[in-house]
């Protein structure tokens, strides 16, 4: 089958013929229908996120079950599914603490032997999924059945972008009706956070992005205010919140500068939630006195702190009811052969998600 691989950090992504095994006990083979291009895929390719290489990239996808191994009972051949790149084992120390998004077993899946090139080179699966391929073999717990009525391109976004954004608001920060929200970074996840904040009934939703052209996109998702430079954001958020600062600020960039700005935009006693993943060497400094006296909470957010088996069906119902617009999150649709240009930076970046549609995508 065809798959998009990266051999080493900063090597060019390329399409190659890859062999993967048939599903074993407890595994399923999924024919990939659509896969979103997440910033995390690019971060694996450039080394921002340490990962075993060579690897097949991709982790945000939808597809159809093509075969099942012994003991699989939750899905059948022909079922449409969303892939879950953090398939909790249910028994490790994190799972028993009701934190499946930190599952120790699932976190190690990307280090496993997965596929081979014709010359015998062994490949790892990016984040345990390897979705930039025509097919993928996964543990049963890595697939979540999907209701009818959602296109493959939109369904793919449920596997990471939307689940992360929705979870950041509803699972991590617990935004309440009437509270003020600021979102830094209007990429795919940032747009999902904006929509999730709207669903939560936020009183005001301020978006910040250094690209002024993203204002229309932010407002389409539900933003009530927009700023494109730091000084404007600092003044504007104070004005918009009666001089207090925001109840909740979400950093969807993942850089020390943006995290510190998020902290400054958060009111005393408010919550700063870091959603974006940055470089390990990028550090943030805070005043020890301010950490204590401001009463603010600074917290991380992994995969939205989500529970995919519960949250994906809920999100699907929001889509079917018209409360969540996944189509507006998609900027560009491409084929698998076009993907290397995106990963390698040769294709222009849009305001939303790029989605890879496979030839087999028929539903």
What's the whole-model pTM score?
A: 0.94
Alpha carbon distance 131, 136 (integer Å) = 6
Cross-sheet strand order for the sheet of 297-300: 225-227, 204-208, 180-184, 246-251, 266-274, 297-300
Give pLDDT tens digits for 185-208.
999 999 999 999 999 999 999 999
The answer to the question of residue 316 being in a domain is no
Across 36-46, average pLDDT: 92
Question: What letter would DSSP give residue 102?
Answer: G
The answer to the question of residue 321 being in a domain is no
Same domain? 69 vs 106: yes
Give pLDDT tens digits for 270-328.
999 999 999 989 999 989 998 899 999 999 999 999 999 999 999 999 999 999 999 99
* Average pLDDT of every residue of the chain: 94
Same domain? 261 vs 334: no
Query: 147 pLDDT band (50/70/90 cuts)?
Result: confident
pLDDT value at 359 more than 70: no
The full length of the chain comes to 363
Alpha carbon distance 280, 48 (integer Å) = 7
**CATH number where 8 lies:** 3.90.180.10
The answer to the question of residue 363 being in a domain is no
pLDDT value at 141 more than 70: yes
Same domain? 210 vs 119: no
CA distance between the termini of the chain: 20
**Phi and psi for 352 in degrees, rounded to 5?**
-140, -155
Across 30-39, average pLDDT: 95
Question: What letter would DSSP give residue 187?
Answer: S
Alpha carbon distance 91, 97 (integer Å) = 9
Same domain? 6 vs 146: yes
The answer to the question of residue 334 being in a domain is yes
For residue 316, the model assigns a pLDDT of: 93
Across 39-44, average pLDDT: 91
The answer to the question of residue 314 being in a domain is no
pLDDT value at 10 more than 90: no
Same domain? 89 vs 221: no
**CATH number where 212 lies:** 3.40.50.720
Across 58-70, average pLDDT: 97
Which stretches of 151-246 are DSSP H helices? 152-157, 161-167, 188-199, 215-221, 230-240
pLDDT value at 3 more than 70: yes
Same domain? 111 vs 178: no
For residue 244, the model assigns a pLDDT of: 97
The answer to the question of residue 318 being in a domain is no
Residue 67: domain span: 2-158+326-357
Its sign, for the CA torsion 246, 252, 256, 258, is negative
Helix (H/G/I), strand (E/B), else coil: 117? strand
Same domain? 208 vs 348: no
**How remote is the C-alpha of 137 from its chain's centroid?**
20
Alpha carbon distance 125, 137 (integer Å) = 10
Domains in the chain, number: 2
Give pLDDT tens digits for 218-273.
999 999 999 999 999 999 999 999 999 999 999 999 999 999 999 999 999 999 99
Same domain? 121 vs 9: yes
For residue 363, the model assigns a pLDDT of: 54
The answer to the question of residue 310 being in a domain is no
Same domain? 22 vs 36: yes
Same domain? 68 vs 175: no
Alpha carbon distance 278, 276 (integer Å) = 6
pLDDT value at 162 more than 80: yes
Query: 345 pLDDT band (50/70/90 cuts)?
Result: confident
Same domain? 115 vs 258: no
Across 28-39, average pLDDT: 96
Query: 121 pLDDT band (50/70/90 cuts)?
Result: very high
Same domain? 22 vs 111: yes
For residue 108, the model assigns a pLDDT of: 87
For residue 361, the model assigns a pLDDT of: 52
Q: H or E stretch including 309?
A: helix 308-320
CB atoms within 10 A of CB 121: 13
pLDDT value at 101 more than 80: yes
The answer to the question of residue 317 being in a domain is no
């Amino acid at each position: 089958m065809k798959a998009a691989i990266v051999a080493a950090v900063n090597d060019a992504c390329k399409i190659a013929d890859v062999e993967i095994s048939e599903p074993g006990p407890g595994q399923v083979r999924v024919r990939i229908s659509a896969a979103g291009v997440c910033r995390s895929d690019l971060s694996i390719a450039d080394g921002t996120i340490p990962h075993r290489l060579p690897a097949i990239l991709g982790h945000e996808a939808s597809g159809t079950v093509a075969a099942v191994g012994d003991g699989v009972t939750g899905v059948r051949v022909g079922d449409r599914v969303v892939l879950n790149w953090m398939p909790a084992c249910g028994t490790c120390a994190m799972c028993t603490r009701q934190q499946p998004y930190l599952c120790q077993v699932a976190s190690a899946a990307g280090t496993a032997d997965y596929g081979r090139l014709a010359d015998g080179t062994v490949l790892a699966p990016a984040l345990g999924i390897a979705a930039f391929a025509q097919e993928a073999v996964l543990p049963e717990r890595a697939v979540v059945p999907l209701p009818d009525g959602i296109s493959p391109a939109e369904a793919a976004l449920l596997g990471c972008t939307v689940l992360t954004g929705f979870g950041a608001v509803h699972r991590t920060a617990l935004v309440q009706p009437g509270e003020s929200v600021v979102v830094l970074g209007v990429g795919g996840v940032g747009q999902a956070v904006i929509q999730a904040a709207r669903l939560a009934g936020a009183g005001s939703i301020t978006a910040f992005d250094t690209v002024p052209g993203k204002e229309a996109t932010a407002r389409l998702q539900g933003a009530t205010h927009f700023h494109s430079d730091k000084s404007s954001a600092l003044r504007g958020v104070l004005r918009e919140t009666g001089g207090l600062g925001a109840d909740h600020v979400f950093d969807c960039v993942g850089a020390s500068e943006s995290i510190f700005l998020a902290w400054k935009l958060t009111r005393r006693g408010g919550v700063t939630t870091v959603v974006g993943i940055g470089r390990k060497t990028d550090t943030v400094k805070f005043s020890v006195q301010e950490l204590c006296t401001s009463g603010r909470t600074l917290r991380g957010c992994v995969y939205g702190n989500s529970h995919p088996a519960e949250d994906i069906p809920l999100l699907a119902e929001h889509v079917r009811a018209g409360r969540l617009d996944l189509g507006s999150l998609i900027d560009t649709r491409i084929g698998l052969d076009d993907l290397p240009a995106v990963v390698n930076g040769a294709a222009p970046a849009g305001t939303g998600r790029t989605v890879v549609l496979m030839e087999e995508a028929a539903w």
